[in-house]
Amino acid sequence: MPMNSLIDVGLSHYLALSAALFAIGMLGVLMRRNVIVMMMSIELMLNAVNLTFIAFSRFRDNMDGQAMVFFVMTIAAAEAAVGLALAVTIFKRFREVNIRYFEHLKG
């Protein structure tokens, strides 16, 4: 029985993979201190969500999931553009992109 449920890959397998990717991305946001790496971890989390959408769309035979992925991708690209512009600005000021320099931004 366990062999069978391992070989016949179903919706649960994709969801589990997506949960694992999401956890790794969340750990990256919490643990890393480089702003750019943190942004990349957020991208990873968004991708995990996309995987869930696609898996549901496939196994429920419903195209709406794929349409949602487009919106998530657009948001992710926008986030990357603004985030990188901010990181470049921070880097020009401090020659470093560590998250603690963002404290100096106030005032």
Partner 1 sequence: MTLTAQDLLFYILGGLSLASALGVLLMTNPIYSALCLALTMVSLAGLYASMQAWFVAGVQLIVYAGAVMVLFVMVLMLFDLKSEIKAFSRGAVAGFMKLVAVGLMTGAFLAAIYNSADTLLGTSLAAHVDGTVSTKALAQLLFGKYVFAFEAMGVLLLIIAIGAVALSRIEGGTHADE
Look at the block and give the residue holding tokens 């948001």: 75
Shortest distance in whole angstroms from residue 35 CB to partner 1: 10
* Separation between Cα atoms, residue 33 and residue 51, nearest integer Å: 26
* Separation between Cα atoms, residue 64 and residue 56, nearest integer Å: 10
Instruction: Closer to partner 1 by CB, 98 or 104: give it.
Output: 98
Instruction: Closer to partner 1 by CB, 4 or 103: give it.
Output: 4
Instruction: Closer to partner 1 by CB, 85 or 104: give it.
Output: 85
DSSP label at residue 99: G
Shortest distance in whole angstroms from residue 30 CB to partner 1: 4
Shortest distance in whole angstroms from residue 101 CB to partner 1: 12
State the DSSP H helix or E strand holding residue 67, giving kind and residue range, or none if neither: helix 64-94
